[in-house]
């Protein structure tokens, strides 16, 4: 515990600005992943425990595309699309077989996919951690703002994540596709009875959720090391976010991501040894006092 240090930091603008942005960086990447989890849960009512693997595959795919094309933007887009397609395949071939059955069966299928993809990554890319390196267009000196420091790439990352989030929200709220998806989330059989092929929409939603994870992987690739099993730690954090925000709520995921991001960035100064503990404490408190999460509809 070093609460003095935390107070000192809060007292200086440079520290506050730097930690605020670093909280946003951590939070926004988390948001991209958690929004996929929450979207899939909200519509399909399944918890995709394999979401961390999709993130990992996104990062590795981006790495390979980058080796081939040399363009970061093409690689990021390619990774998102590739993981989206993979997500659709995963949904059709495996997850759709266990809809409606026990949540534990779904868990088991996801666990199998996590194991298989970790090993396949090791076979294809090797166990040595890979690094993509910062694309040349982002190799710029950090921006100084009110005494704080913000790297240009992170600024791009925050804006990209926010833009994707906004786009997702607009699609769900404003388009015909979105209204059908929302309807299917509430009553799938009824939508089906209206002559709409709900299965296609389920697959599409799973694909979109997966593409979000792929995009997050691609955004993380230049700054995080790529190893088999890298989806493991991100998975549990994205669940904390999903639960705090409310299962199924994209706005909730956004707010919760920022809460977790700021907990990490300021916590590392104030209570560095118990940051993880505090995250789970927040999760437990939310569950105790408002089980449906900050923005969730009461479920059942």
Please list every residue from 257 through 276 that binds other proteins, using CB under 8 A: 264-265, 267-269, 272-274, 276
Q: Does 127 bind other proteins (CB under 8 A)?
A: yes
Give the one residue of 81, 196, 223, 251 binding other proteins; rule: CB under 8 A: 223
Instruction: Pick between residue 39 and residue 191 the one whose CB is nearest to other proteins.
Output: 39
Site string for other proteins, 73-112 (x = CB under 8 A): ---------------------x--xx--x-xxx-xxx-xx
Which of 42, 78, 84, 151 binds other proteins (CB under 8 A)? It is 151
220 binds other proteins (CB under 8 A): yes
Cβ atoms of residues 296 and 242 within 8 Å: no
The percent helix, strand, coil of the chain (3-state, each to 5) is 75, 5, 20
**Cβ distance to other proteins smaller for residue 107 or 180:** 107
- Kindly provide the residue ranges of all beta strands, DSSP E only, lying in the chain, ordered along the sequence: 143-145, 148-150
Give the nearer residue to other proteins in terms of CB position, either 135 or 178: 135
CB of 104 or CB of 194, closer to other proteins:
104
Radius of gyration of the chain (CA): 19
| Token couple for 96 | 């759709």
CA-wise closest residue to 99 among 205, 220, 24, 16: 205
Q: What is the rounded CA–CA span in Å between residue 88 and residue 38?
A: 17
Q: Please say whether the beta carbons of 161 and 212 come within 8 A.
A: no
For other proteins, the binding residues in 17-46 under the rule CB under 8 A are 18-19, 22-23, 25-26, 29
Distances (CA, A) of 189 to 33, 50, 71, 183: 28, 26, 44, 10
CB of 130 to other proteins, least distance (A): 7
Subset of 180-219 contacting other proteins (CB under 8 A): none
Nearest to 82, CA basis, from 60, 56, 61: 61
Both tokens assigned to 195 = 């002559």
* Out of 1, 123, 124, 173, the residue judged to bind other proteins by CB under 8 A: 123
Shortest distance, CB of residue 214 to other proteins, whole angstroms?
16
Question: How many Cα atoms within 13 Å fall on the side-chain side of residue 163?
Answer: 7
Token couple for 167: 């786009």
Return the residue of 116, 171, 173, 186 that touches other proteins, per CB under 8 A: 116
Count of residues touching other proteins (by CB under 8 A): 86
Q: How far is the CB of 2 from other proteins (least distance, A)?
A: 9
Considering the complex, what minimum distance in angstroms separates the CB of residue 164 from other proteins? 18
Q: Closest separation between CB of residue 197 and other proteins, Å?
A: 23
Under rule CB under 8 A, residue 141 binds other proteins = yes
Neighbours of 101 (CB within 10 A): 11
Q: Which stretch binds other proteins (CB under 8 A): 74-82, 137-145, 183-191, 193-201?
A: 137-145
Q: Which segment (118-126, 171-179, 181-189, 199-207) binds other proteins by CB under 8 A? A: 118-126
CA–CA gap between residue 78 and residue 112 (Å, rounded): 26
State the virtual CA torsion across 231, 237, 240, 241 in degrees, nearest 10: -100
């Amino acid at each position: 515990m070093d609460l003095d240090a935390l107070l000192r930091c809060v007292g200086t603008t440079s520290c506050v600005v730097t930690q605020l942005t670093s909280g946003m960086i951590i939070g926004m990447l988390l948001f991209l992943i958690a929004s996929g989890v929450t979207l899939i849960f909200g519509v399909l009512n399944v918890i995709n425990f394999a979401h961390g693997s999709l993130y990992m595959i996104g990062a590795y795919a981006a790495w390979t595309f980058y080796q081939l094309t040399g363009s970061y933007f093409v690689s990021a887009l390619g990774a998102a699309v590739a993981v989206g397609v993979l997500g659709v395949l995963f949904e059709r071939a495996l997850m759709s077989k266990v809809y409606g059955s026990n949540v534990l069966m779904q868990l088991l299928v996801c666990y199998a996919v996590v194991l298989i993809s970790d090993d396949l990554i090791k076979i294809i890319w090797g166990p040595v951690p890979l690094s993509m390196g910062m694309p040349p267009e982002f190799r710029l000196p950090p921006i100084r703002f009110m005494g704080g420091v913000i790297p240009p790439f992170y600024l791009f990352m925050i804006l990209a994540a926010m833009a994707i989030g906004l786009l997702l929200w607009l699609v769900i709220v404003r388009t015909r596709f979105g209204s059908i998806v929302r309807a299917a989330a509430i009553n799938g059989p009824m939508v089906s009875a209206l002559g709409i092929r709900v299965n296609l929409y389920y697959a599409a939603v799973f694909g979109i959720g997966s593409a979000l994870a792929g995009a997050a992987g691609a955004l993380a690739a230049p700054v995080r090391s790529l190893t088999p099993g890298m989806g493991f730690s991100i998975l549990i954090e994205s669940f904390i976010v999903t639960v705090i925000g409310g299962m199924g709520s994209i706005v909730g995921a956004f707010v919760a991501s920022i809460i977790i991001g700021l907990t990490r960035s300021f916590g590392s100064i104030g209570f560095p040894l118990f940051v993880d503990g505090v995250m789970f404490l927040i999760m437990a408190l939310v569950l105790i006092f408002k089980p449906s999460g900050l923005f969730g509809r009461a479920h059942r």
